[in-house]
Amino acid sequence: MKNEGYTFNFYISEVRRLIGELPFLSSDSEHDNYSGDKTLEEYLRTLDVKDNSLTCFMFKDFHMILDDYFGQTKHLETKGLKIAADILEMINAKLGFDNFDMVILFSDHGFKLYEETFDTNLKYLGKPRTQIMMFVHKKGDTQFSCCNKLASIFDVYPTVLDFCGINYDKSKIEGINLFSPEAHDMLMIEDYSKFYLDRNTRIEKWAVRTEKGLAACDYHQKWEAEYDITDEEIAAFTSLLSKKSVSFDEIAKIERINNIYRTITPGAGGNALGNMFFDGKKRFRTKHYVMRRVLKKLQKIKSLLPDIIRGY
């Protein structure tokens, strides 16, 4: 878009920029109007939106607003929504949404505003966390309508480029123009196992959403679904994740090796190797019997090592 003569305006706090939420935006960025640590009011006061421009506003997650101001109280949803509405009204008063050719409003993830135990992968990656809100307004729109076709945040990119008449290689992107008659057959979802940043955090929960509903799994690759999932669907979903997710196959292989390793080495609960001297009936076994079992385990590890090495 820059090559086509478009200018850019970005409202994002310096802290969120520093943690990499817009990787291409540096402190000495060439972008025409970057907010830095200005308040929204200060930024809007100096903002001059021109033709052929893209203006982006990034605000705190809704749950951050709740944490900062209200905590878990019975009034949190009402007060939080009022803050969100006040922000939109402030932008509209200064810029006027109707002056833009297109306005897209969306969240980065879903969130249910009450306590719930995410005790299964299906709940963890269900609608409360993965169904987002997205609103699109084009100049001249006078009616409101809902569309329930499968869509993703990735669809915003081709929608904007198509609207601006900019050519791009469609084979290299995940999204589909939101106004296209085409639609996704399925959407891949992947997420971390923790809600907070940690040096050991890794993606180890996956899901696939289709028109039938959601199907989810973890690194054990045991699937659960909101509907009666078939073996053919499991095979198709597993194949999709293997192709699209960088970590899906890799983490599964690492966990298989870890499980084998844990069975032949001492663990926190006792010496697993020592326990192998006894069978299920507590009969004593010889060292030769134990070593044969150890060698079989090592053979399994050896057979997996080429795949692991190739992965790195």
Q: Give the number of other Cβ atoms within 10 Å of residue 208's Cβ.
A: 26
Q: Which amino acid is at 89?
A: E
Give the mean pLDDT of 24-38.
Answer: 71
Asked if residue 226 lies in contact with residue 233, where contact means CB atoms within 8 angstroms, the answer is: no
How far from chain centre, in Å, is Cα 143? 31
Give the mean pLDDT of 96-125.
Answer: 77
Asked if residue 104 lies in contact with residue 57, where contact means CB atoms within 8 angstroms, the answer is: no
Q: The whole model's pTM is what?
A: 0.73
Per-residue pLDDT band at 254 (split at 50, 70, 90)? confident
pLDDT single digits (tens) 288-302: 555 666 667 666 666
Rounded to the nearest 5 degrees, what angle is found at the Cα of 188, between the Cα atoms of 10 and 133?
45
Per-residue pLDDT band at 236 (split at 50, 70, 90)? very high
287-311 vs 248-264: helix crossing angle, rounded to 10: 160
Q: How far apart are CA 61 and CA 186, in angstroms?
A: 27
Per-residue pLDDT band at 4 (split at 50, 70, 90)? confident
pLDDT single digits (tens) 40-72: 999 999 898 888 899 999 887 666 655 555 555
Output the average pLDDT for the chain: 78
> Between 236 and 61, where is the model more confident?
236
Tokens of 218: 């973890």
Per-residue pLDDT band at 280 (split at 50, 70, 90)? very low
Tell me what pLDDT residue 214 has: 93
Rounded to the nearest 5 degrees, what angle is found at the Cα of 247, between the Cα atoms of 245 and 248?
70
**Residue given tokens 């993703």 in the structure block:** 152
Tokens of 299: 């053979």
Give the mean pLDDT of 101-125.
Answer: 75
Q: How far apart are CA 97 and CA 76, in angstroms?
A: 28
Strands 53-57 vs 7-11: parallel, antiparallel or unpaired: parallel
Query: Which residues in 5-73 belong to E strands, given as ranges?
Result: 7-11, 33-34, 53-57
Tell me what pLDDT residue 275 has: 46
> Between 137 and 19, where is the model more confident?
137
Tell me what pLDDT residue 307 has: 52
Tell me what pLDDT residue 224 has: 92
Q: Which helix (H) or strand (E) is 217 found in, with range?
A: strand 213-218
Per-residue pLDDT band at 226 (split at 50, 70, 90)? very high
Q: How far apart are CA 217 and CA 138, in angstroms?
A: 38
How far from chain centre, in Å, is Cα 101? 29
Tell me what pLDDT residue 197 has: 62
Give the mean pLDDT of 258-273.
Answer: 55
Per-residue pLDDT band at 161 (split at 50, 70, 90)? very high
Asked if residue 158 lies in contact with residue 176, where contact means CB atoms within 8 angstroms, the answer is: yes
Q: How far is CA 301 from CA 137, 235, 267, 289, 291, in A?
A: 56, 25, 18, 19, 15
Q: Assess whether pLDDT exceeds 90 at residue 91.
A: yes
Q: How far apart are CA 230 and CA 312, in angstroms?
A: 33
Q: Assess whether pLDDT exceeds 70 at residue 233.
A: yes
Q: Assess whether pLDDT exceeds 80 at residue 118.
A: no
Q: Which residue from 292, 293, 274, 296 is spatially nearest to 284, judged by alpha carbons? A: 274
Give the mean pLDDT of 283-291.
Answer: 52
Tell me what pLDDT residue 279 has: 44
Strands 203-210 vs 187-192: parallel, antiparallel or unpaired: antiparallel
